[in-house]
A = this chain, B = another copy of it.
Amino acid sequence: MKKYESLTKAELTSLLNELEANYDEMKRKGLNLDMSRGKPSPEQLNLSNELLKIDIFTAKDGTDCRNYGGLTGITEARQLFADILDVPAENVMVAGNSSLNMMYDMLSRSVTHGVMGSIPWCKLEKVKFLCPVPGYDRHFKMSEFFGFEMINIPIKDTGPDMELVEKYVSDDAEIKGIWCVPKYSNPQGISFCDETVKRFARLKPAAPDFRIFWDNAYAVHHFDENNHDVLLNLFVECEKAGNPDLLYVFGSFSKISFAGAGISAIGASKANLDFIQKSLANQTIGFDKLNMLRHVEFFKDLSGIKSHMKKHAAIIAPKFDVVLSCLTKQLGGLEIAKWQNPKGGYFVSFETLPGCAKQVISLCKGAGVTMTEAGAAFPYGIDPDDSNIRIAPSFLTEAELGSAMELFVLCVKLASVRKKCEEIF
């Protein structure tokens, strides 16, 4: 295929007319598809249906999980998360159905009560968070909700720009945290390299209440067990570096068992956990232990989780193939877009020509395919280049995905040609 850059005016005009006609035709198809969120498909959810039949209620140590108590979660669930997150079980606290809610609680508590004795953030003039971009929209929305000033940090193939991170964190005591999805990141699908992880562990924050919010949401979510990313263990690296309190790691079963009906956990140093639990005792008597027990009984251990994740991969990997092969076939060589080929996770991060993302998404919407809002992967919803689009292939069937992607690449071409024409004419 010919690069759009090298097209003559006449070729461009003719291409524009052709694409506009194709788009009008697509509109008439009356698609009605939603690719906006990283939701598991019903087929994936079916994989865990047996979990719903588990009716035991007694934990290994005799705890009656139908009754009150146990703020840290049952021992065997802590162990299960310890295996996933690669953190000692005594450093894990298991919570409710939403790791996002736990992150919110961590922020909220820091705002009202500070962190391990620090001044409550609500008493400070300003609180800033570093936000590797593009990133997870809900992290940014949450930070915005608390009025934190968000600072964009570019993400490279190796992770966030660590030079920038180090400088900000050591220079500015108003910087209280950084959001990371370190493995199969949302939306790029990249994993932080060993050196990046080590540099995180060695951060020397100006603020003693600075924390790394390490949202390890896709720890076991790869497509191919023989070819997957391996993330260095930040918990261990932080200990090695003499910085054990620097880190909160979060995990969730939402994309292992049931989305929004699984269990979640936080891993942290003893000092952090003691502080969290002392505060949390004012908030709840405990989380749902029956659901913890169901999960342990169904998955048993890390090997059980791994074999379960293979079944997920068998469903989800072909969907990524549909997306990626369509992109390659339809856009390869045109030099109007870039995208990444993740080995796991839930997203494909796509870059249009600068200034085209909003239009692509609006064109898709106009023909019946809903994408994640343009700019959503950036603080305040502002993509400075207006070029990032998050593709979420998981929920649709392969056939639906084929139709959606056919429209998507058409919209990318159309928006790009429109842009070129604007520039030239």
Binding site for B on A (CB under 8 A): 37, 39-40, 42, 45, 48-49, 52-57, 64-69, 96-98, 100-101, 104, 108, 111-113, 120, 122-123, 138, 141-142, 145-146, 254, 258-261, 279, 281-291
17 more A-B contacts (CB under 8 A) besides A45-B57, A45-B64, A145-B279?
A49-B57, A52-B54, A52-B55, A52-B56, A52-B57, A66-B261, A68-B259, A96-B96, A97-B288, A100-B283, A104-B284, A111-B111, A141-B281, A142-B282, A142-B283, A260-B286, A261-B288
Tell me whether A98 and B284 are in contact (CB under 8 A). Answer: yes
List the B residue with the shortest CB-CB distance to A111. B112
Q: Specify the main secondary structure of chain A where it touches its partner.
A: loop
Q: Which residues of B contact A101 (CB under 8 A)?
A: 283-284
Tell me whether B55 and A39 are in contact (CB under 8 A). Answer: no
Q: Which residues of B contact A39 (CB under 8 A)?
A: 67-68
Tell me whether B96 and A67 are in contact (CB under 8 A). Answer: no
CA distance A108 to B282 in the complex (A): 11
List the 9 closest pairs (A to B, CB-CB), nearest first: A52-B55, A122-B122, A145-B282, A101-B284, A45-B66, A66-B258, A104-B283, A97-B288, A261-B290
Neighbour of A122 across the interface among B45, B68, B120, CB < 8 A? B120
Neighbour of A53 across the interface among B53, B65, B112, B259, CB < 8 A? B53
* Given A111-B112, A112-B112: A65 and B283 interface contact (C-beta under 8 Å): no
Q: What's the minimum C-beta distance from A146 to chain B, rounded to whole angstroms? A: 7
Neighbour of A288 across the interface among B64, B69, B285, B288, CB < 8 A? B288
CA distance A64 to B258 in the complex (A): 10
List the B residue with the shortest CB-CB distance to A97. B288
Tell me whether A68 and B254 are in contact (CB under 8 A). Answer: yes
List the B residue with the shortest CB-CB distance to A262. B288
Tell me whether A258 and B290 are in contact (CB under 8 A). Answer: yes
Tell me whether B288 and A100 are in contact (CB under 8 A). Answer: no
Task: List 27 interface pairs A-B (beta carbons < 8 Å), by A numbering.
Answer: A39-B68, A42-B67, A45-B57, A45-B64, A45-B66, A52-B54, A52-B56, A52-B57, A53-B53, A66-B259, A67-B258, A67-B259, A67-B260, A68-B260, A96-B288, A98-B284, A98-B286, A100-B284, A101-B284, A104-B283, A104-B284, A108-B108, A111-B122, A138-B282, A141-B282, A261-B288, A291-B291
CA distance A283 to B108 in the complex (A): 10
Q: What's the minimum C-beta distance from A136 to chain B, rounded to whole angstroms? A: 12
Tell me whether B65 and A261 are in contact (CB under 8 A). Answer: yes
Q: Which residues of B contact A289 (CB under 8 A)?
A: 260-261
Q: Which residues of B contact A97 (CB under 8 A)?
A: 96, 287-288
Q: What's the minimum C-beta distance from A221 to chain B, rounded to whole angstroms? A: 16
CA distance A159 to B39 in the complex (A): 49
Q: What's the minimum C-beta distance from A157 to chain B, rounded to whole angstroms? A: 29
Q: Which residues of B contact A42 (CB under 8 A)?
A: 64, 67
Q: Which residues of B contact A286 (CB under 8 A)?
A: 98, 260
Q: Which residues of B contact A259 (CB under 8 A)?
A: 66-68
CA distance A39 to B70 in the complex (A): 13
Q: Which residues of B contact A104 (CB under 8 A)?
A: 282-284
Tell me whether B112 and A108 are in contact (CB under 8 A). Answer: yes
Tell me whether A69 and B112 are in contact (CB under 8 A). Answer: no
Tell me whether B260 and A52 are in contact (CB under 8 A). Answer: no
Neighbour of A285 across the interface among B66, B98, B284, B290, CB < 8 A? B98
Neighbour of A112 across the interface among B52, B56, B122, CB < 8 A? B122
Q: What's the minimum C-beta distance from A419 to chain B, rounded to whole angstroms? A: 34
CA distance A123 to B122 in the complex (A): 8
List the B residue with the shortest CB-CB distance to A263. B288
Q: Which residues of B contact A261 (CB under 8 A)?
A: 65-66, 288-291
List the B residue with the shortest CB-CB distance to A145. B282
